[in-house]
Amino acid sequence: MAEITQSEMRHTGFLGLLQRFGLSGRALVMAVPYAWLLLFFLIPFLIVLKIALAESQMAIPPFTALVEMTEELKYQITVTFYNFHSMVTDDLYIIAYLNSVKIAFISTLCCLVLGYPVAYAIAKADPKWRAPLLMLIILPFWTSFLIRVYAWIGILSNNGVLNNVLMWLGIIDQPLQILYTPTATYIGITYSYLPFMILPLYSTLERLDNTLLEAAADLGCPPWKAFLTITLPLSVPGMIAGALLVFIPAMGEFVIPELLGGPDTLMIGRTLWTEFFNNRDWPLASAVAVALLLFLVVPIMLFQNVQGKQGGHP
Amino acid sequence: MPKSWFLRAGLLTGLLFLYIPIALLIVLSFNDNRSVSVWSEFSFRWYGELLRDDQLLSAAWLSIRVAFISASFAVVLGTMAGMMLARFGMFKGRAFFSGMVSAPLVMPEVIMGLAMLLLFVSMEQMFGWPEGRGMLTIILAHITFTMSFVTVVVQSRLVSMDASLEEAAMDLGARPAKVFFVITLPLIAPAIVSGWLLAFTLSLDDLVITSFVSGPGSTTLPQIVFSSVRLGLSPKVNALATIVVAIVAIGIIAAGIYNAQQEKQRRRDEQMAQQGS
């Protein structure tokens, strides 16, 4: 392990000067990203929490200050749970939450069902085919997310490609209403997040020990049974990693329900957007964000656990 | 190709599902008719309209500048963070740091965007900086969420890479900074390039975070696209999509050829080395 310890040597010049103040190059390398993330990632969340506890007001910025100097020159802290209270009592938010969980969950399942055979097929393919096939899976990710979601408007609309093909085939007489329904949202999320399911699944399946399957075959186990009792259980870590990569961002998805879902597809990300941009209620939007974050803390921690294992430290 | 027909069918279904929508956009971009169901004639009409749309072009230019600057900063920060996680062993607060780095990978964008905006508003109230929202705030936000992706790419490259060359250089008395610039950096250069490209693409494509932190004078390309497709179909977007896909395809093919050549060169060098010894 190349543990770069505080160098024994005394440097001259600029480095030496830094060292004299107890600052090694290593400390500098560590300080910059650490400070950046503290300032631009951690502190913003504390501010969200703070503003979620403030009251909305007609001003710029549109919320009350938590800490105010009173006339007796004492600090007065005004905290209100009004925003959280209105979230719990208003059906709109509860419905949006439950809907988000449902939509994210079903889309994750769709990704798993569609993505597993693909990942498995690539892992079983001839090694020289694997890299190009993986490239094909990753390629759509490099094109614009927004444009890929937009493509589905042309496919799913009443006068769209899908309805025209189905009517031409004589399967249906009248166009199906798919666009602007929750179904379109499921399709959009599954489509956009499918590569995130396939990649971790592939990397688990590819590393799978083939000798186990050979042993099972030698002992007379049929391939489907070997798959169910060996491959499937061993690929659970990949499934979990993929499911988290789909489920967590899908919970807060805004663009897909907005473009494909129609006005009835309530999702929490959309509610937050509306509170913020249309109603200009920043404290309520912050409260929605805090509630969403609380819900996602467990999945995010789980994800970091998986991520940490993959990244591995020496 | 896998042998079982079931796997082949599964693979084919997955690939068709991924590519049919994109293929459709490309075909429709050459359709003179507005509708997706009526093919009138082949034309470059929408490309012409795209190039005459000044609002869209200036937004694209802003997006490209933002993406270039953000990706360049994100690569520096992400490489530092990747080094910390892969090479610095157990330092104080490592778990906390690794948590902060990886959270933006999955964090819903609405939360990130809102949090960033509230930070900028609070900072402006307290210090008077950054003044208002615009290109600067978009860049700061984009650096923050793209550096995580760079970190993952660089870190995984460092972890899979043998540290013995670095150790050897250090045993021979090279200073840590020299080891990094002479040994480590050239070895992880491919990861840094792909990290930069990833950050650039993510920044160029971001809508949600940008919408929160952008000001009235700074509208990026995704914002323009979003406001036009929100109202339904917009054939100009088809033309734009085709251009994006063409650029990406050319880039990927070029990268593939470059990698193949590097691989060949490496094999040739290895053979030469073996023959020489």
Residue-wise pLDDT for A49-89, tens only, equals 888 887 766 555 666 665 555 555 555 556 677 777 777 77
Residue-wise pLDDT for B141-160, tens only, equals 999 999 999 999 999 889 88
Distances (CA, A) of B277 to A48, A214, B145, B270, B271: 64, 40, 49, 11, 10
What residues make up the domain containing A65?
13-77
Candidates B34, B106, B207: best to mutate against A (most CBs of A within 10 A) is B106
Specify whether the CB–CB gap between B206 and B191 falls below 8 A: no
Nearest to B227 by CA among B59, B40, B1: B59
The reported pLDDT for the residue numbered A91 is 81
How much is the mean pLDDT over chain B?
87
CATH number of A256's domain = 1.10.3720.10
The total of structural domains in chain A comes to: 2
Burial A159-177 (b: 16+ CB within 10 A, else e): ebbbbbeeeeeeeeeebbe
Nearest residue in A to B77, CA atom: A33
State the amino acid at position A176 in one-letter form.
L
Omega of the bond prior to A61 within 30 degrees of 0, cis? yes
Q: Which of B35-39, B122-126, B221-225 has the lowest mean pLDDT?
A: B35-39
Last residue of a domain, one of A32, A56, A77: A77
Shortest Cα distance, chain B CAs vs residue A172, angstroms: 17
**Rounded distance, CA A179 to CA A46, Å?**
39
Residue-wise pLDDT for A203-215, tens only, equals 999 888 888 888 8
The reported pLDDT for the residue numbered A200 is 92
Are A299 and A194 within one domain?
Answer: yes
Candidates B17, B22, B118: best to mutate against A (most CBs of A within 10 A) is B118
Are A201 and A72 within one domain?
Answer: no
Name every residue whose Cβ is closer than 8 Å to that of residue A219 and which is 6 or more positions away in sequence: none
Residue B121, in any domain of the structure: yes
Burial B117-138 (b: 16+ CB within 10 A, else e): bbbbbbbbeeeeebeebbbbbb
The reported pLDDT for the residue numbered A21 is 54
Tokens of A167: 């009517």
The reported pLDDT for the residue numbered A70 is 53
The reported pLDDT for the residue numbered B204 is 92
Q: Which residues of B touch A6 (CB under 8 A)?
A: none
* Contact at CB, A7 and B176, closer than 8 angstroms: yes
Nearest residue in B to A192, CA atom: B18
**Rounded distance, CA B232 to CA A260, Å?**
10
**Rounded distance, CA B147 to CA B72, Å?**
10
Are A69 and A96 within one domain?
Answer: no
**Over 90: is that where the pLDDT of B125 sits?**
no
Last residue of a domain, one of A26, A47, A77: A77
Give alpha helix (H) positions in chain A.
13-20, 25-37, 43-52, 82-89, 91-124, 127-142, 145-156, 161-168, 182-206, 210-218, 223-226, 232-234, 236-251, 255-260, 268-273, 282-311
Nearest to A10 by CA among A187, A22, A1: A22
**Rounded distance, CA A258 to CA A262, Å?**
7
Tokens of A46: 């504390």
Residue A48, in any domain of the structure: yes
The reported pLDDT for the residue numbered A273 is 92
Task: Work out the average pLDDT over A187-196.
Answer: 94
Specify whether the CB–CB gap between A284 and B139 falls below 8 A: no
Nearest residue in A to B148, CA atom: A37
Last residue of a domain, one of A47, A77, A107: A77
The reported pLDDT for the residue numbered A18 is 55
Name every residue whose Cβ is closer than 8 Å to that of residue B43 and which is 6 or more positions away in sequence: B30, B31, B32
Tokens of A61: 């910025």
Query: The dihedral of CA A288, A289, A292, A294: what is its sign?
Result: negative
The total of structural domains in chain B comes to: 1
* Contact at CB, A161 and B115, closer than 8 angstroms: no
**Over 90: is that where the pLDDT of B221 sits?**
yes
Candidates B30, B79, B114: best to mutate against A (most CBs of A within 10 A) is B114
Are A20 and A162 within one domain?
Answer: no
Residue B248, in any domain of the structure: no
Are A204 and A266 within one domain?
Answer: yes
Q: Compute the count of residue pairs across chains A and B with CB atoms less than 8 Å apart.
A: 289
Are A183 and A148 within one domain?
Answer: yes
Distances (CA, A) of B162 to A7, A62, A207, B167, B180: 22, 54, 20, 10, 14
The reported pLDDT for the residue numbered B68 is 96
Specify whether the CB–CB gap between B114 and A276 falls below 8 A: yes
pLDDT band, residue B1 (cuts 50/70/90): very low
Q: Which residues of B touch A120 (CB under 8 A)?
A: 7, 10
Are A177 and A210 within one domain?
Answer: yes
What residues make up the domain containing B181?
51-242
Task: Work out the average pLDDT over A133-162.
Answer: 87
Are A61 and A129 within one domain?
Answer: no
Specify whether the CB–CB gap between B179 and B166 falls below 8 A: yes
Pairing of strands A67-69, A75-77: antiparallel
Q: Which residues of A touch B202 (CB under 8 A)?
A: none
Name every residue whose Cβ is closer than 8 Å to that of residue B196 and which is 6 or more positions away in sequence: B71, B72, B74, B75, B150
Nearest residue in A to B117, CA atom: A44
pLDDT band, residue B46 (cuts 50/70/90): confident
Candidates A53, A113, A141, A142: best to mutate against B (most CBs of B within 10 A) is A142
Are A177 and A245 within one domain?
Answer: yes
**Over 80: is that where the pLDDT of A118 sits?**
yes
DSSP helix, strand, coil percent of chain B (3-state; round to 5): 80, 0, 20
The reported pLDDT for the residue numbered B76 is 95
CB half-sphere exposure, B27, CA atoms < 13 A: 16
The reported pLDDT for the residue numbered B2 is 52
* Contact at CB, B105 and A129, closer than 8 angstroms: no
- The interface pTM score, or ipTM, of the predicted complex is 0.86
The reported pLDDT for the residue numbered A253 is 92
Q: Which residues of A touch B101 (CB under 8 A)?
A: 33, 37
Residue A135, in any domain of the structure: yes
Tokens 């004639």 correspond to B41
Tokens of A50: 């703070």
The reported pLDDT for the residue numbered B192 is 93
The reported pLDDT for the residue numbered A313 is 39
Residue A42, in any domain of the structure: yes
Q: Which residues of B touch A157 (CB under 8 A)?
A: 36, 232-233
Task: Work out the average pLDDT over B122-147.
Answer: 90
Q: Which residues of A touch B109 (CB under 8 A)?
A: 249, 252, 254, 269
Q: How far apart are the first and last CA of chain A?
A: 7
Are A105 and A194 within one domain?
Answer: yes
Residue B212, in any domain of the structure: yes
Task: Work out the average pLDDT over B4-23.
Answer: 90
**Over 70: is that where the pLDDT of B127 sits?**
yes
The reported pLDDT for the residue numbered A13 is 58
CATH number of B195's domain = 1.10.3720.10
State the amino acid at position A238 in one-letter form.
G
Residue A8, in any domain of the structure: no
Are A206 and A306 within one domain?
Answer: yes
Residue B266, in any domain of the structure: no
Residue A2, in any domain of the structure: no
Q: Which residues of B touch A124 (CB under 8 A)?
A: 2, 4, 7
Residue B274, in any domain of the structure: no
The reported pLDDT for the residue numbered A22 is 52
Residue A1, in any domain of the structure: no
Nearest to A41 by CA among B211, B228, B142, B191: B142
* Contact at CB, B115 and A115, closer than 8 angstroms: no
Are A124 and A250 within one domain?
Answer: yes
